[in-house]
Amino acid sequence: MSQLKAFMAQKPVLIADGAAGTMLQKVGLKPGRAPDGWNLENPEAVRALHKGYLDAGADILYTNTFGGTRYRLGRDGLGDKVKEINLAGARLARDIASDAHLVFGDIGPTGAMLEPLGAVTFEEAAAAFAEQAGALAAGGVDAIIIETLSDLNEARAAVEGVRFACNLPILATMSFDTKGRTMFGVKPEKAAQARWALGVDIIGANCGRTLSETLTAVLKMREAVPDAVLMAKPNAGLPHTEGEALVYDVTPEVMAEFALRFVAEAGVKIFGGCCGSTPAHIKALATALT
């Protein structure tokens, strides 16, 4: 049995952690820069980020490797550091989580468009995902989470790449941030059917816009694939600017109320927070759910 299954057998709902990018920006990461580089340059900050979520009650840590493909890292001049950055990211989370918590190796979009819209071929994308997943697996993660994707074709390439690199369980969530669909126009029903058909262990939604929009998306997934194991990791609402700062206005209390609704109405088995969520949000929802 995988560690993921063992943990799921013990608890009806597992608590995932909250945001990484917006949290690291609060301690000096420049907006627009991939937070992944800090696994090598500022590991203390990444360790503190993980520790904050474990102390808040998270069962699951995501590695700080959301932008860890060679395409996304290449934008920051780190395209030749895929192995080091992902291995370090996995080890940082693994060390602090020990065996008492799960570590998900986090894979986000390449940021490059796949053919026919862009220049990257399906095979090239799959190879980039395989390269990242191989390093995450070598660093000791328990599962691979493919998240915030908008393009079903890229999601397929990611699943194929991860399978090529390792035998770990795979989770896949997409972001429904454009009038109830992904940026590429994919409806939640379609996303659920397509990903479930790929044999992914858990599917769901993350990031997005408001909590209620993400709840609607997950309810549509439930309707489309009644047997699916679902998860959600929504943003703490939409940000607005106050001076230089981006402020997310969903309070920990509201996040906790929604956590209960995601579980009761959509039957999600894993719940956490995306952009704008903090250890206070995770603490509130962990308290509500346990």
Site for Zn ion, rule CB under 5 A: 207, 235, 274-275
State the minimum distance, in angstroms, from the CB of residue 274 to Zn ion. 3
Helix (H, G, I), strand (E, B) or coil at 271: strand
Nearer to Zn ion, 71 or 176 (CB): 176
Is the separation of the CB atoms in 234 and 261 below 8 Å?
no
Would you tell me how many other CB atoms lie within 10 Å of the CB of residue 154? 24
Nearer to Zn ion, 19 or 136 (CB): 19
Nearer to Zn ion, 270 or 274 (CB): 274
State the minimum distance, in angstroms, from the CB of residue 277 to Zn ion. 8
State the minimum distance, in angstroms, from the CB of residue 22 to Zn ion. 8
State the minimum distance, in angstroms, from the CB of residue 275 to Zn ion. 3
Nearer to Zn ion, 250 or 275 (CB): 275
State the minimum distance, in angstroms, from the CB of residue 207 to Zn ion. 3
Helix (H, G, I), strand (E, B) or coil at 111: coil
DSSP structure class, residue 281:
H
The token pair that represents 165 in the structure block: 């690199």
Is the separation of the CB atoms in 87 and 154 below 8 Å?
no
State the minimum distance, in angstroms, from the CB of residue 147 to Zn ion. 9
Nearer to Zn ion, 106 or 131 (CB): 106
Nearer to Zn ion, 46 or 275 (CB): 275
Helix locations, the chain, DSSP H: 3-10, 21-26, 38-41, 43-56, 70-74, 82-97, 122-138, 152-165, 188-197, 211-224, 252-266, 279-289
**Residues 186, 166: Cα–Cα separation, whole Å:** 28
